[in-house]
């Protein structure tokens, strides 16, 4: 495609085309429509399984096309749209459904809105974009999620709607994720975005670090007490023998 991939334009490259809010909005809607067609427009449905910025190609008009179907699988009728061939040990993996693509799409939404990497190895507090966005959203700082380059370009309520849909699609609990068809309707404003269900704090959250320190301290104290107890036993035994 003439304009490369979406990932090319989200990379920290001075030569990249700066994506405006209208561009980003249209790209996300194009991807949602493409996935809705794969999931609901054909039978058997097709699950892409590798939705990410580098697999979204942009033409000369910056219209998005979902590409790279190397991992795609067709669902089989009568099997509840669940693929039966998965990599890994059966019994240990969650079944693959359309909600797998929905999760990936949610991550792409957050990536496109924020201009941030999906995994930020430079941050010790928040490694995943979903954790980072969730904490800002809970703190009432949704505007800090928006890429600085687009903060003044779009209607705030529309941009917030896209963030909320992204968070809902990328929810850790599969049952809370919408279908891609409903996600598209939410993005277009045809249906309301439901209240976001709470989600577990990331393991990097300070509450977990505090808990870990407490556990470590408790283990240390217990170890010292054990040592002291063993020392007393040894002294008592020595006294008895002598």
Query: Which DSSP category does 53 fall into?
Result: G
| Cα–Cα distance for residue pair 4/145, rounded to 1 Å | 25
Half-sphere exposure of 134 (CA within 13 A, CB side): 23
- Report residue 203 CA to chain centroid gap: 15
Which sequence positions are flagged as catalytic?
A: 50
Instruction: Note every long-range contact of 66-70, with CB atoms under 8 Å and residues 24 or more positions apart, other chains counting.
Output: 66/31, 66/34, 66/35, 66/38, 67/1, 67/5
Half-sphere exposure of 93 (CA within 13 A, CB side): 13
Query: Which DSSP category does 128 fall into?
Result: B
Q: Please count the other Cβ atoms lying within 10 Å of the Cβ belonging to residue 219.
A: 10
- Which residues neighbour 94 within 8 Å (Cβ) at sequence distance 6 or greater? 174
| Cα–Cα distance for residue pair 93/138, rounded to 1 Å | 31
Residue 118 burial (C-beta neighbours within 10 Å; 0-12, 13-18, 19+) = middle
Whether 123 contacts 136, CB under 8 Å: no
């Amino acid at each position: 495609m003439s304009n490369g991939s979406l990932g090319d334009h989200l990379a920290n490259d001075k030569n990249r085309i700066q994506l405006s809010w209208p561009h980003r909005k249209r790209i996300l809607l194009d991807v949602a429509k493409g996935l809705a067609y794969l999931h609901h427009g054909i039978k058997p449905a097709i699950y892409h399984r590798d939705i990410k910025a580098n697999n979204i190609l942009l033409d000369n008009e910056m219209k998005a096309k979902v590409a790279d179907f190397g991992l795609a699988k067709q669902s089989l009728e009568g099997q509840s749209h669940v693929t039966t061939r998965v990599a890994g040990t059966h019994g240990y993996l969650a079944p693959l459904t359309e909600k797998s693509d929905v999760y990936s799409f949610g991550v792409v939404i957050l990536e496109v809105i924020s201009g941030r990497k999906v995994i930020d190895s430079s941050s010790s507090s928040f490694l995943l974009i979903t954790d980072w966005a969730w904490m800002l959203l809970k703190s009432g700082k949704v505007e800090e999620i928006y890429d600085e380059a687009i903060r003044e370009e779009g209607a705030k309520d529309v941009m917030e709607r896209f963030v909320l849909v992204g968070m809902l699609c990328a929810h850790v609990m599969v049952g809370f994720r919408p279908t891609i068809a409903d996600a598209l309707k939410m993005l277009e404003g045809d249906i309301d975005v439901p209240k976001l269900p709470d989600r577990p704090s990331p393991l990097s959250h300070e509450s977990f670090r505090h808990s870990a320190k407490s556990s470590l301290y408790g283990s240390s104290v217990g170890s010292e007490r054990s040592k002291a107890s063993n020392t007393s036993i040894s002294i008592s035994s020595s006294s008895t023998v002598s």
